[in-house]
Amino acid sequence: MKNKTLYALLMFICIVGFWLFENFYTPATYSNPDTVEVDLGDFDYLPSSTNGEVVNHEYFTLSYSETYEQAEWVAYQLKKDHLTSDDRKRPYFIEDPKVTSKSADWRNYRGSGYDRGHLVPAGDRRFSEFAFNETFYTSNISPQDKDFNAGIWNRLEQQVRYWCKQYGDLIVITGGVLEDGLKEIGDEDVDVPDAFYKIVLKDKGDRMEVIAFLIPAKDSEKSLSQFVVSIDELEAKTGIDFFQKQPKAWQDEVESKADISGFKL
């Protein structure tokens, strides 16, 4: 009888301990204490923020929307020397300590049926433990259908890495289309985008070449080329001025085209 009671007590302690760990454990920040944060505030291709909450991390910048509990965009530079196959231990998803209102807790996704979809892919940041871990701030994730996340969205992420190997350093801007009436998940009402976009820029020396994608948030076997859109279309859809710091003449020329000629697909 005593052994049974002891066994039951130990089981109870283990269950409570596991529950407490799952629900209340939060690792320390993923910021690198030994390096200087890269401030992209003067970055020539940083988009506008519709809410003013711009957050600079060491390896990417984002604009966080408290209304939708996720970033409306993330922007980062992808360099050739970033493309490594280093094996990294997958860390915990944690709230972004630099978001003043706190980014949504990862537990909003639990049981929702949606993946915690990265905006800056972890695969683009394997070159550094801190760079890799930063992609697991919840400010860098958005609810995604698992087939979309593992399917066409993953294909596009791989295509961007291929372009980086082929063309050299790139600038990438990406996010979900945030609008009224979206489905919400979790206690914090995290919105589920119906579509995601990605903009890729490459420097040709005398000019910047740009390609943009707008993809419904479900898997598709279609060619990526069928989802190429103009920047003007993305701006109308999102309300974001993606190249606000560029001259108007440049914007008028570049943003009106849905051009794939500079990118091999």
Distance CA 4, CA 134 (A): 46
Q: What is the mean pLDDT of residues 9-30?
A: 52
Q: How confident is the model at residue 16 (pLDDT cuts 50, 70, 90)?
A: very low
Judge whether residue 84 has pLDDT over 70: yes
Q: How confident is the model at residue 125 (pLDDT cuts 50, 70, 90)?
A: very high
Per-domain boundaries in the chain: 35-254
Residue type at 79 in one-letter notation: K
Q: What is the mean pLDDT of residues 237-250?
A: 94
CB 184 within 8 A of CB 58: no
pLDDT for position 259:
84
Q: What is the mean pLDDT of residues 98-118?
A: 95
Query: Mean pLDDT highest for which of 50-59, 118-127, 255-264?
Result: 118-127
Residue from 88, 118, 126, 202 carrying the catalytic annotation: 118
Tokens of 262: 């500079």
Is residue 57 annotated as part of the catalytic site, yes or no?
Answer: no
| Homologous superfamily of 35-254 | Extracellular Endonuclease, subunit A (3.40.570.10)
User: How much is the mean pLDDT over the chain?
Assistant: 88
pLDDT in tens, 36-61: 444 444 468 899 999 889 999 989 99
pLDDT for position 196:
98
Q: How confident is the model at residue 31 (pLDDT cuts 50, 70, 90)?
A: low
CB 19 within 8 A of CB 110: no
Judge whether residue 83 has pLDDT over 90: yes
Tokens of 75: 């922007």
* 74: nearest Cα among 61, 87, 65: 61
Distance CA 38, CA 36 (A): 6
